A = this chain, B = another copy of it.
Amino acid sequence: MAGHLLAAGHEVAVHTRTPEKARELVERGATMVGSPREAAEGRDVVISMVGYPEDVHAVHLGARGTLSASQPAGLVIDMTTSRPALAVEISKAAAARGLDALDAPVSGGDIGARNATLSIMVGGSEAAFAKARPVFETLGKTIVRQGEAGAGQHCKMVNQILIAGTMLGSCEGITYARAVGLDPATVLESVSGGAAGSWTVSNLLPRVLRGDFNPGFFVEHFLKDLSIALEEASAAGLDLEATALARRLYELAVGQGRGRLGTQSLALVLEERWRKGLPVG
C-alpha cells in the first residue's frame, strides 16, 4: 500500500517495528523514521495499519504517537481493523488538536492491497473523507463513507460477521461431504455456481481440498475481529449466536497452535473432531 503511494508520486516516511519489511520501500525512495511521532511530523497525512487495538492506541495516542508531534499531520487515518470506540477516541483527540481523523479498515486481503482493489470502509466527517479520497483511490477500488467516526469499523465488523457465517457453512458442508463419502471436489462443481455460492466456497474451499492452510488471513486476526464484533453487538443488546460459535471454534484453533494459519483451517478443526468422534465446539 505504501508502494502505491510512492508510485503515485507522494513523499512517504515509514515506521515499522520490523524494518526489513520496509527495505524495498526505502530503496524506492521512502524515508525510514524511528517512531509514529516522526512519521506524522510535518506531514499532510499519516496512515496506520497495525495488528491489534492496543497497537492502534500506541501508534496514535501513545507517548511517541502521531498526535504527540509538534506539527502533526492534518489528517490521521487508521486502516487497522480495530474497535469502533477507539476510532471515536482518536477522532476526538485529533479534533482537540484541530486535526481530522478517519477510521478506514479494508477488505480484500494481501491481493487487494497489492492490486489496489481494496474495499475501504470509512468513518469520519464528510470533509475529512473528501480530503482523503485521492489517497484512498490510490489504495483501493470500492471507497464508501459509512458515517461518522467508528462507522468504518462497524462496517468492517459486518464484513467479518458475514465471513464468519459463510465460513461456518463452508467448513461444515465440506466436512459433511467427507463424512458421508462424497468426493468434495465433485461436490464443489455442483454447488459453487448457485444459491450456495460465495467467495469463500470459490476461493477457500479449493485450498482446503488441496490441504493448503496457508494464511490469506490469519486465524488469530480473525479471532480478534470476531471478539470486537461480539463485544459491540453485546453493547447494542444483540446476541450473535453464529458469530459466537465461530469465535469459539477459532479459539479452539488458536489453542491447537493454528493462530498463524489461514481462516480456512476451521475445516481442519471440524474434520479432526469428526474423525475423533468428538462433538464439535
Residues of chain A at the chain B interface (Cβ within 8 Å): 84, 107-109, 112, 119, 121, 142, 144, 146-147, 151, 154-155, 157-170, 172-177, 179-183, 186-187, 189-191, 193-201, 203, 216-217, 229, 232-233, 236-243, 245, 273-274, 277, 279-281
Contact = CB atoms under 8 A, between A and B. Distances in A.
Contacts of A112: 194
Contacts of A109: 195
Report the copy number of this chain in the oligomer: 2
Contacts of A175: 238, 240
Q: Is the interface of A mostly helix, strand, loop or mixed?
A: helix
B169 A157 contact: no
A241 B281 contact: yes
Given A173-B161, A191-B107, A199-B195, A147 B182 contact: yes
Given A151-B182, A181-B147, A279 B162 contact: no
A272 to B, nearest CB: 12
Given A180-B154, A182-B146, A245-B242, A162 B237 contact: no
Nearest to A112: B194
